[in-house]
Structure 1
Amino acid sequence: MASFGSAKEAVVVLALALIALSLSVSVEIGAAAAAARTPEVLLRSSSSSSSSVLESKMDEMYVSVDEVDMLKVYTLKRGKMEVKITDWGATVMSVKVPDARGQVADVVLGFDSPATYMDPNSTAYLGAIVGRVANRIGNASFKLNGRVYHLPANDGNNTLHGGLVGFDKVLWQSQQLDLGQGPSVQFYYNSFDGEQGFPGSLEVSVTYTLGENGEFKIEMEAKAGKKATPVNLASHTYWNLRGHDSGTILDHLLQIFASHYTPVNEKILPTGAIDPVQGTALDFLEQRPVGTRIDEVSVPTGGYDHNYVLGGVDHGDCDGLKRAIRVVDPMSGRVMEIFTSAPGMQFYTSNFLDCYGKGGAHYQPRNAYCFETQGFPNAVNEPKFPTVIVQPGEIYRHVMVHRFSTS
């Protein structure tokens, strides 16, 4: 992991230079163009009828925006829930939710200053939207329509989370939305043809909404230009329901609603198989502590870093979305469920995390869990996997809902 002790000003200057280089070869995404342009696709939102203790009719609800370190930081507030998001990487900086006693804590790992997320050497992807293709692409290449595309390798011989300068390392345009469903903000970014080696231009938008009944929704859309291109967006938020600075998550109780997974080789690339979880350390069909069998999967991943195949396990839904997980912190009583439209989900136990975050907290391996709903890793090179190719003019859609409650 990179060191975050460098001066804030140096980080900002370096990152802004990177932005300028990107914008010089990009299609119109300058401030003037962004101000004149209404995103072609406005994302839709819907509410849930489930009960929650997180809000009442008298609680406040708003969106505010501040400029911090030359970046925008949006605050979405609804009842006792509060979410902060910055336009660098469309990154979730914090999520505050109450516990069973009503005590509010920040349950997302991150940094105090938005400028710290701009470190070009950071490999943690804390809270960011990753793409154009999340997860790994084997040998940093793929073949599409008879042509081989070569990408920058940033994970051994593989490409991880979009390359050296993925969507987590760019400045997004942003606007507040009034969808009638709660506080909402949309981020959008125009990825140019050839960016990080990927074919075709891509109009990307991500909308964050605080809905009713403790729901935090993320809606991702991307419209392909004149060329077919792979698209697989994911939210790389690190969660710890006990609090971002509370240490290990190994005693947290997890249930994953998936009966199959995609096994990996020594390079953490899928083998192409789809295997049952039954009888393995990846079986979370019944709720159990995260750490009970984690050492069985410590090689080569250092812990859990596996893609689960969602669907086929009927445990209820949320507006037609598949239930992916339910996790409980037994100490605070906080509960988080995730529902999604995606076919897969990467369960990652922050195996290589080592940095200093909010309030000087030292974030270390197994201090958080990520639940990255997604297309399957390396799907561009595995014909048996669901395709991640978006054809010219088509729109990719991916929805995930985090539902918070207490037990």
Structure 2
Amino acid sequence: MRTIPSRDRLAHDPTDVRDLADARSDFPSIGHHPDRAYLDSAATAQRPAQVIDAERLFVERDYAAVHRGASEAVGAATEAFESARQKVARFVGAGENEIVWTENATDAVNVVALGLSDASTGVGDTILALRPGDEILITEAEHHANLLPWQKLAARTGAVLRWAPVQADGTWTIDGLRAAASDRTRLIAFAHVSNVTGYIAPVADVVELARSVGALTLLDACQSVPHLPVDFGALGVDFAAFSGHKMLGPTGIGALYGRAELLNALPPARTGGSTITTVTMTEADFLPAPQRFEAGTQPVSQAVGLGAAVDYLDGWGMERIHAHETELAGLLTEAVAGIPDVTLIGPAPGTPRAAIVSVDVAGVHAHDVGQFLDARGISVRVGHHCAQPLHRAIGITASTRASAYLYTTADEVARFGEALAEVRGFFGADR
């Protein structure tokens, strides 16, 4: 099994002279499709052989139930499972007891929303209860996964859902968020990086705002944890959610971060085996976090795979990956900005953003744009990207999105720009 040694992602080995271009050889999908430019990593990232091998080897050698029984097999599986949790916790600046395994980031957000809903009915610690007239604050740019759970929570508790509007370019401002906040705000939920615009949120300012009104914060970190150094403890957020499949790991696993005292006060959204200390026929007492939230059979091999993905990312260094993607973000925006009648959504060229660009091509539907690019060996995402309110606010129904990762090259970005420039002519939209 090939491995890249794990190193601290911030204190990177200065003697390591490898180029990120070397990483491409680690990805079997790239080897199988050498002529394809995969620019859809914001949806799902490709997996390196090191991650695939780690999960396969665990299943072949150490696969067993975890936290159930005292056999040698269970002990080995449990050690691998909890070792992965330790790696992920360290990677995001969390304590081991502050990382809860979930199905994905959507599930993680729902764990919090459902827990707050139960707390509001008197279950568990009422310090987390919402009352009629309390406010949940989000932005108009949120992924549906960070909108729908709060709609449901508001309906269940009588709370009011409020939001900061987006501007004409699809981004929101801290001033807009401040204007929407009040002394009734109890939770502010927002994306660290927009999956549509690549906008990077001013997390420190949002945390300061939340604390000034006595609100909790939940950070959608799906598009940040895989791409830049993230330390939830230093950021000061109360909860955060992210997914394994966007950071080179398996599908079917994500994580919820929560400050330990809040997780232990939050009622578990799902109950069952492995979550309890004592059960009678009429009541149950629950374990401390994270086990209180992990009911039923665990995603054991997926956790091992995610741990291997963290090892891989650490091996290259998140600062190095972020620098590479910052360069690609500049190339992407420059490529788009020079094409007539193609509108770039999000921060303007020269403004900090993640390596995500979404565009509207005048006179051509996004689905047609995507098919044209796909015919030229360029994989992108088309549609509303689970962000209908954002698209509606800027006057379009769908957009075409290109997104990069550590294995993306400048040549692939150039191919994207050249092909995008041909779209309107191919469909006769320039006549």
Same fold (TM over 0.5): no
Flag the structure with higher strand content.
Answer: 1
**Rg larger in 1 or in 2?**
2
Structure with more relative contact order (C-alpha pairs < 8 Å, separation 6 or more): 2
Query: Which has the larger helix fraction?
Result: 2
Tell me which interval the TM-score lies in, with the shorter structure as reference length. under 0.3
TM-score, with length taken from structure 1: 0.25
